Amino acid sequence: MTDVRSNNILQGIHLGRNITALCSQFLFKEFGSKFQHEAWNPHQDNSYLNIKKGCAVNVQLMLSDNNKINGSLYAYPGSHAEEILPFEQKMSYGDDANNQPGNNCIIPSKYSKIDLEFSKGDLLFIHGNLIHGSYPNLSSISRPVFAWQTCTLGDAEVALGSNRGKNAQRMEIKLT
């Protein structure tokens, strides 16, 4: 999270504004676990933070190859230009093996879904308003990813004040 190269990219995305991280997590879709078949609904990460458009970025470091079979992501290019879209609020984490988490948003018909594939070591930056989701892991291996949520420093106070998250336990994490 504190790597100078990734933070330089984040500074460029955030137009040089000061940034901070709010939380980090490992996402496994672990083979044999009750979460292996969990697929995330199409959602915008900013539907959880509810801060200004362009001020939230999710970063993911791929710890293995990712493809549709082992639960990789899909996205709707161009949808980052939207405000927070109407959504059905869904629990993000839970013990229900049939849970399809993600604040399921209404996708405007002008956007088309694309599947994303990654190699181990790839770094992905997701705009907070980009509509995206993931597939279930239908393979016989786990698919680990290290992810962290970032935002501009002033917006961290807004995000933390309004919703630290039941499970995310968001807090400011200094990146530099």
Take residue 41 and report the two structure tokens written for it.
């609904």
**Whole-structure pTM value:** 0.89
pLDDT greater at residue 101 or residue 65: 65
Q: Is the pLDDT of residue 167 over 60?
A: no
> Coil, helix or strand for 80?
helix
Average per-residue pLDDT for the chain: 87
Q: What is d(CA 176, CA 160) in angstroms, rounded to the nearest whole number?
A: 19
CB–CB of 141/70 below 8 Å? yes
Contact 131, 105 (CB under 8 A): yes
Least confident residue range of 3-7, 66-70, 88-92, 94-98 = 94-98
Residue 174 domain-assigned?
no
Is a pLDDT exceeding 70 seen at residue 151? yes
Taken in order 81, 56, 42, 75, is the CA torsion positive or negative? positive
Residue 45 domain-assigned (yes or no): yes
Residue position matching structure tokens 């604040």: 103
- Residue 169 covered by a domain: no
Whole-number pLDDT of residue 141: 93
**Residue 176 placed within a domain:** no
Task: State yes or no: pLDDT of 162 exceeds 80.
Answer: no
Q: What pLDDT, in 10s, does the model give residues 54-83?
A: 888 999 999 999 999 999 999 999 999 999
Its domain, for residue 41, covers 4-162
CATH number assigned to the domain comprising residue 123: 2.60.120.620
Residue 23 in domain: yes
Q: In this structure, is residue 43 part of a structural domain?
A: yes
* Distance separating alpha carbons of residues 71 and 40, to the nearest angstrom: 9
Q: Are 36 and 29 in contact (CB under 8 A)?
A: yes
Task: Give pLDDT, residue 161.
Answer: 61
Q: pLDDT by residue (tens digit) across 28-57?
A: 999 998 889 989 999 999 998 888 888 889
Supply the DSSP symbol for 41: P
In a domain, 82, yes or no: yes
* Domain count of the fold of the chain: 1
Q: Is the residue at 171 inside a domain?
A: no
What CA–CA distance (Å, rounded) separates 74 from 71? 9
